[in-house]
Amino acid sequence: MARKIHADGTPEDPVLAAGILVWRKVNNGFEFLLVRNAKHGTWGFPKGHVQPEEDLTSAAIRETEEETGFKFNPEDLAPDFLDTCIYTTKGHWKRIFHFLPTGGVPPTSEVQLSGEHIEGGWKSEAEALAILKRQESRRTLIRAAETLRVCLGRR
């Protein structure tokens, strides 16, 4: 069954969005890429609305490339990490799906922000937790950081 073109943004029919938690390895660990939304000024992860007939993985890859310039393939994404949350802003419900790549981007990679964002930056877990306002985003970050600690600890 095809998805409706526009979700109602209700608890029963939230708008779907997807993105990738872009990260890079640094000396003692890793940093996450956060972007600051031009419309409402809040920090978050690259993500965007899922289009009709688009699967979550394709949407996450497309939106991340559009918003940051970073290109991922489905096989780059960790098969055992998919974080999801649902939240409301002014009565408008949205469900977000976040993927995590198995490898980080090169440390010297440059971010190419879209017009949707006024700022972007690499943040440690502590720095990101300090500027993320949504509890749902903070939980996603904590889960991703723990996953990376386990994965990088094995290498």
Decide: helix, strand or coil at residue 77. strand
Domain ranges in the chain are 15-154
Q: What is the pLDDT of residues 41-54, one digit of tens each?
A: 999 999 999 998 89
- Distance between CA atoms of residues 38 and 2, nearest Å: 32
Question: Mean pLDDT across the chain, nearest whole number?
Answer: 91
Note the pLDDT of residue 27: 86
**Mean pLDDT score, 78-101:** 92
Q: Is 80 exceeded by the pLDDT of residue 152?
A: no
**Region of poorest pLDDT, from 1-15, 50-64, 129-143:** 1-15
The domain over range 15-154 is classified in CATH as 3.40.50.2020: no
Cβ contacts of 118 within 8 Å, gap of 6 or more: 36, 37, 38, 41
Q: Mark out the alpha helices in 13-75 (DSSP H runs).
A: 56-68
User: 31 is written with which tokens?
Assistant: 């940093």
Q: What percent of the chain has pLDDT over 90?
A: 73
**Mean pLDDT score, 87-106:** 91
Q: Where are the beta strands (DSSP E) in the chain?
A: 15-20, 23-26, 29-37, 43-44, 47-49, 77-89, 92-101, 117-123
The CA distances from residue 17 to 11, 73, 95, in Å, are: 14, 18, 6
| Environment class of 36 (CB within 10 Å of its CB; exposed 0-12, middle 13-18, buried 19+) | middle
Q: What is the identity of the amino acid at 21?
A: L
Question: Where residue 5 falls among pLDDT bands split at 50, 70, 90?
Answer: low
**Mean pLDDT score, 141-145:** 97
Q: How far is CA 59 from the centre of its chain?
A: 11
**Mean pLDDT score, 2-17:** 74
Question: Where residue 3 falls among pLDDT bands split at 50, 70, 90?
Answer: low
With contact defined as beta carbons under 8 Å apart, do 34 and 45 qualify?
yes
Note the pLDDT of residue 105: 94
With contact defined as beta carbons under 8 Å apart, do 22 and 105 qualify?
yes
**Mean pLDDT score, 22-27:** 94
**Region of poorest pLDDT, from 23-37, 69-83, 140-154:** 140-154
- Distance between CA atoms of residues 85 and 72, nearest Å: 22
